Structure 1
Amino acid sequence: MPRTTATATVTLLAPDGIRSIATLNEAPGYSKPTGPLRSRVAYAAAHVVPKTWADNTPGSPAEIDWDTTLGFRRHVYSWGLGVADAMDTAQRNMGLDAAATRELVSRSAQVAREEGGSVVVGVNTDHVDAEVISVAEVVDAYKHQLHFAEDQGAGPVLMASRHLARVASSEADYLRVYGAVLQAAGAPVVLHWLGTAFDPQLEGYFGSSDWSRASEVLLRIIAENPGRVAGVKMSLLDAAAEVSVRERLPEQVRMFTGDDFNYVGLIGGADVEAAVQPPRDPASTRQHSDALLGAFAALTPAASAAIQALDASDPDAYLRILGPTEQLSRHVFAVPTFYYKTGVAFLSWLNGHQDAFQLVGGLHSARSLPHLSRIVELANAAHALEQPELAARRWHGMLRLNGVDA
């Protein structure tokens, strides 16, 4: 297990400007898997890294540092996780334009082939510039991106479409659109249910703001298109809602948790202590969720080590490793939740996976210095700093740049 050293410290900054000192924990020393992870399927939803010298201001086309961006994906694969790409973590609808998205899908799929990793990519309608389009045009837009993803050899994830949310007048419109797109797919796809915490423009998706009613539409889409849905990625930040839907999925359809608040119990399921599990039916055959999480991009070594513990039938180790990370994730995904990308990139920078703390569209400025300080504190406590001394140097340099003595 990770150890603590009393010789190194990190300076923290509270919201009132008061500084404090925390002991810096040593690197966790987790081991990479020697074979595929077995007990859970896990994808890390990865972010993109812009060129440091690019015009990374709001509204500017994304200029991606491809070596660093793709290097991060190789890092994820080296820990046995899959990559979920070109999704909201990669700033879809928040700075990643259509041209950059297509190139990301193509390049990421190539890296997956080189590394022998599994990649799924977001399929949306966001290449269409018009704010409002018809239901038929939504179908065509989805199909356009679907076929491109399939041509690149990537697994499609049908993301929630802002265009569909705007134009749909009834539950029947969702059934029509998803039915047409699923029938056009060459292989089973994953459906993504993204809650309003992540995108307020998706209010009323699947025909209702009531998750229980909306879930009936989702389940009906799956039932009316047998064999065409491989899984559901559910991101409502509501563990009870996820378990309710999970228990009603057909046996061949996986539940991929997108709940960055409650993933420890949802993934652990029946293998972990009851105290961390959400309510579930003990008679159900669906006793855990798999994972497709932005949090796992920030916590890749810990996520891998925790699943390796489950593979070794050691749920106590799973909880020791992953349990402390949930408080960190809750802070990274704090309201306004859609700015969580800032925390993911910040941790990537602290851990040495990118040379500069930057995001497309200037989004690295979306969180305050005390918020970032709390990330440092929680990451240190959760043993999520892969190179603690590097993290401290970078953080202290950032503090000094902002006029705070470190």
Structure 2
Amino acid sequence: MTLILPTPEGVLQPYALTGTPLVPRAPQVPLTRTAFAAAHVVSDPLAERNPWTDRPAVDWDTTLSFRQGLWDQGLGLAEAMDTAQRGMGVDWDTALELIQRTMAAARAHPLSPRVACGAGTDHVSLGALNTAGEILSAYEHQAEAIEAAGGQLILMASRAFPTIGAGPDIYHDVYRTLIDGASEPVILHWLGDMFDPALKGYWGSTDVAAASDFVLSLIAENQGKVDGIKISLLDQAHEESFRARLPDGVRLYTGDDFNYADLIAGDGTHFSHALLGIFAAIAPAASQALEALAMGDMDRYHALFAPTVPLSREIFRAPTQFYKAGIAFLAWLNGAQSHFVMPGGFQSSRDICHYAQVFRLADEAGLLLDPDLAKERMITLLALHGVDQ
């Protein structure tokens, strides 16, 4: 099964599919790591109008079906996060409807999956968020809506803090109130500026060591109300150092889409749980690798995860914030949606050479679940870019 693909250098070369597709299934044993997959939303391309300026039109049935597939494989869900294009095509009203629909579907699912939902400030313009009180009020508006829907809170990083040049005192006042007031323990969210350049200097410092000290002190003030913290800095050494300093019972949820395999496996003393966008794209490998870990089969764990790491590094390569396109692309290749259209036309954020490389690496990782369908759809995309077979 061969087709002509462009290389990263823009040269056309034949590629023969060789991967053995993994079969999605539920884990056979309870997992020893908490694993949240951050999922994307599926557009309704026939209903969407003015995609650059209007609210997105969502194909709700397909969007929820994708989440059902993750749950069926034993994964939890991080809902309405940046993977769902929060602030990059998806507004708060759409995100809230997504959360409400997802929570209803989760309650009906036989595995009672865990769902945590992103609370932010994105329903208020940055120009109207100039004080700690205004930022807090915006967070509380979303937090109350999420808790009313039955979701656990993820306190998403807000662009409002860096925009006003907030110092640690403002972060402390806002986060302390949110943590203390939540109905159940929250997940904090440290998203690096490689994912969103507007978050540079989060926690009131551009020095990572100083920011780490601040966050750890914040957690220690009320550790019983902090489930964990998701860190997405793509820095394995920092994450390992940080998690060793966490209070007992507070989880480190890795958001490191480059180094997740080693971080989840751990160093013999500490390990990371997972809250990852890449898990939505590699769900069969992730689920079965975590199953192997729970069974003590480290050879199989590494064999399953190893080929997914180059794939993840390609999907999340700089500019990292465009990774959502790779998640949706693989969902289309694997038949989880009928088209490759994203809110705001976001599929145009990556080039055809990138998509061809994702195709190759997904095949090598056994993640083209129906190779004939994937090939047919890849040929269609190639033809739209002037590459005939």
Does the alignment reach a TM-score above 0.5? yes
For the aligned residue pairs, the C-alpha RMSD in angstroms reads 1.4
| Distance across 1 between alignment mates of 2:58 and 2:316 | 24
- The equivalent position to 2:323 in structure 1, one of 340, 345, 348, is 340
Q: Which amino acid in structure 1 is aligned with residue 360 of structure 2? A: E
Match status 1:121 vs 2:117: yes
Gaps of 5+ in 1: 1-7, 271-281
Secondary structure of 2:223's counterpart equals coil
Aligned-pair identity (%): 44
1:193 is aligned to 190
The within-5 A match list for 1:356-395 is 356-395=339-378
* 8 Å CA contact retained: 1:207, 1:214: yes
- C-alpha separation between the residues in 2 aligned to 1:217 and 1:381? 42
Partners of 2:145 and 2:371 in 1: how far apart?
Answer: 41
Mapping 1:1-400, distance limit 5 Å: 8-30=1-23, 32-34=25-27, 37-53=30-46, 54-55=48-49, 57-115=51-109, 116-133=112-129, 134-270=131-267, 285=269, 287-400=270-383
d(CA) in 1 for partners of 2:24 and 2:87?
Answer: 36
Superposition deviation, residue 360 in structure 1: 0.5
The alpha-carbon deviation at position 225 of structure 1 amounts to 1.9
The 1:39–1:130 alpha-carbon spacing in structure 2 relative to 1, beyond 3 Å, is closer
**CA–CA separation in structure 2 for the residues paired with 1:86 and 1:44:** 11
Q: TM-score, normalised by structure 1?
A: 0.92
Contact 1:45 1:292 in 2 (8 A): yes
Which range moved further: 383-392 or 297-306? 383-392
8 Å contact 1:135–1:168 — kept in the other structure? no
1:16–1:257 Cα change, 3 Å: closer
Q: What is the DSSP-based 3-state SS (H/G/I as helix, E as strand, rest coil) of the residue aligned with 1:149?
A: helix
- For 2:171 and 2:227, how far apart are their aligned partners in 1? 18
C-alpha deviation, 1:34, in angstroms: 4.8
Q: What SS does the corresponding residue of 2:287 show, helix, strand or coil?
A: helix
1:392 to partner: Cα distance: 0.6
Q: Which amino acid is 1:90 matched to? A: A
Q: Is the 8 A contact 1:41 1:290 kept in 2?
A: yes
Shift of 1:11: 2.6
* Contact 1:49-1:68 within 8 A present in 2 as well: yes
Q: How many residues align?
A: 385
Distance in 1 between residues matched to 2:5 and 2:100, nearest whole Å: 41
Gaps of 5+ in 2: none
On the 8 A contact 1:155/1:189 being kept in 2, the answer is yes
User: CA separation in 2, counterparts of 1:318 and 1:139?
Assistant: 42
Q: By how many angstroms is 1:21 displaced?
A: 1.9
**Partners in 1 of 2:163 and 2:191 — Cα distance?**
15
Local SS of the residue matching 2:169: helix
* AA at the equivalent of 1:202: L
SS at match of 1:25: coil
Work out whether residues 45 and 57 of structure 2, in 8 Å CA contact, stay in contact via their aligned partners in 1: no
Question: Structure 1: which amino acid aligns with 2:18?
Answer: N
For the residue of structure 2 that corresponds to 1:291, the secondary structure is: strand
